[in-house]
Amino acid sequence: MRPIFLVLIVTCGTLPQRALADAATVSTRGVTAVGGASVYREVCQGCHMPGGRGAVGAGAFPALAGNGRLAAANYPITMVLNGRGGMPWFNGVLSDTQIANVVNYVRTHFSNNYAGTTTPADVAALRGPVPKLEH
């Protein structure tokens, strides 16, 4: 009895963050939207909110509106590919074209007006192997 109990505690302790990333990743599999606005609406808006205004509640979802970190395109490209913390990764979920389009969209909307167009080749250059879930 006792060893099983301990195993359960250890397992549960590692679940919440991974479960969040998994749920978001799985629910966006098979995204057919290609245009930046549609990818944003279907994939990003649930967390980053309409207008990219972000939200604080069950989690903190940073505003993309007026966000100076989007000035360097590699930053949002890398975030979308690899995720971080509560942000799921989309490597293996979204294509180079979908990611390039949504990055261009968030960098030129919501009061952002950053120069330079991201191409699918830019995304491909930063894309590493698809992360493997450990379970």
Is residue 33 at the binding interface for ligand HEC, with CB under 6 A as the rule?
no
Identify whether the C-beta of residue 77 lies closer than 8 Å to the C-beta of residue 103: yes
In the complex with ligand HEC, the residue whose CB is nearer, 8 or 23, is 23
The residue among 119, 126, 82, 97 whose CA lies nearest residue 33 is 97
Is residue 46 at the binding interface for ligand HEC, with CB under 6 A as the rule?
yes
* CA count, 13 A, side-chain hemisphere, 11: 8
DSSP string, 34-59: -SHHHHIIIIIHHHH-GGG--EESSS
Segment contacting ligand HEC by CB under 6 A, of 6-14, 62-70, 107-115, 119-127: 62-70
Is residue 49 at the binding interface for ligand HEC, with CB under 6 A as the rule?
no
DSSP string, 61-94: E---TT-GGGSSTHHHHHHHHH-BTTBPP-BTTB
Is residue 54 at the binding interface for ligand HEC, with CB under 6 A as the rule?
no
Shortest Å distance, C-beta 132 to ligand HEC:
19
Is residue 112 at the binding interface for ligand HEC, with CB under 6 A as the rule?
no
Please state, as a whole number, how many other Cβ atoms lie within 10 Å of the Cβ of residue 47.
16
Task: Please select the residue that binds ligand HEC; options are 33, 38, 41, 62, rule is CB under 6 A.
Answer: 62
Residues 72-91 that bind ligand HEC (CB under 6 A): 76, 79-80, 84-88, 90
Instruction: By CB under 6 A, name the binding residues for ligand HEC.
Output: 24, 43-44, 46-48, 59, 61-62, 64, 67, 69, 76, 79-80, 84-88, 90, 102, 106
